[in-house]
Amino acid sequence: MRRQLLPLLFLLPSVGLISFLTLYPLGKLIATSFQNLGAFQLVQHKVVWDGLENYRTIFASGGGLGTSILQTALFVLACVGLTMAVGTGVALLLGRIGKVLRTVVTVCMLFAWAMPTSAAATVWTWLFQQEYGVVNDTLTSLGLNFSNHNWFGSEIGAYSIIVANIAWGAVPFVALMMYSALTLVPRDLYEAAAVDGASATITFRKVTMPIVRPIFVLMTVLSIIWDANVFNQVWYLTQGNAQLLNVVPLGVWQYIEAFSSTQYGLGAAVAVIMILLLVAVTGYYIRLMVRTGQVKAEAKA
Partner 1 sequence: MTAPVHMAGTRTARYRYMTWFWRAVAIAFAAITVFPVYWMVQSAFEPNSDIASLAPNFFPVHFTFHNFVDAVHHTAGVGTAYFLDDARNSLLVVASATAITLVFGFLAAAAVSRFRLRGASAFLVLILVVQMVPGTALIIPVFLMLDNLHLTDNYFGLILVYAASTLPFTIWALRGFVRGVPIELEEAAMVDGATRFGAFRRILLPLVLPGVVSAGVFAFITSWNDFLAADVLMQQNNHQTLPVWLYSFTTNTGTDYGGLMAGCTIMALPVVIFFLLVQRRLVSGLTAGAVKG
Q: Residue 244 burial by CB count (10 A; 0-12/13-18/19+): exposed, middle or buried?
A: buried
Query: E-assigned strands of the chain?
Result: none
For partner 1, the binding residue among 62, 63, 96, 196 (CB under 8 A) is: 96
Which residues, 6 or more positions from 86, have their beta carbon under 8 angstroms from its beta carbon?
A: 167, 171, 174, 175
Q: Does residue 52 interact with partner 1 by CB under 8 A?
A: no
In the complex, the smallest distance separating the C-beta of residue 93 from partner 1, rounded to whole angstroms, is: 6
Q: Which stretch binds partner 1 (CB under 8 A): 48-56, 77-85, 207-215, 239-247?
A: 207-215
From candidates 155, 198, 214, 262, binder to partner 1 by CB under 8 A: 214
What does the longest C-alpha to C-alpha distance in the chain come to?
74
Q: Which of 78, 84, 212, 234 binds partner 1 (CB under 8 A)?
A: 212
Cβ-based nearer residue to partner 1, 84 or 176: 176
Q: Which positions from 126 through 155 interact with partner 1, judged by CB under 8 A?
A: 126-127, 129, 131-134, 137
The yes or no reply on residue 47 touching partner 1 (CB under 8 A) is no
| Phi, psi angles (nearest 5°) of residue 44 | -80, -5
Instruction: Please name which of 180, 158, 299, 181 lies closest in space to residue 238, comparing C-alpha atoms.
Output: 158
Q: Is 281 exposed, middle or buried (0-12, 13-18, 19+ CB in 10 A)?
A: middle
Which of these ranges, 64-72, 74-82, 123-131, 240-248, lies near partner 1 under the rule CB under 8 A?
Answer: 123-131
Short-list 50, 172, 54, 57, CA closest to 108: 172
Smallest distance from partner 1 to CB 298, Å: 6
Interface positions, 245-264, toward partner 1 (CB under 8 A): 251, 254-255, 258-259, 264
By CB under 8 A, residue 84 contacts partner 1: no
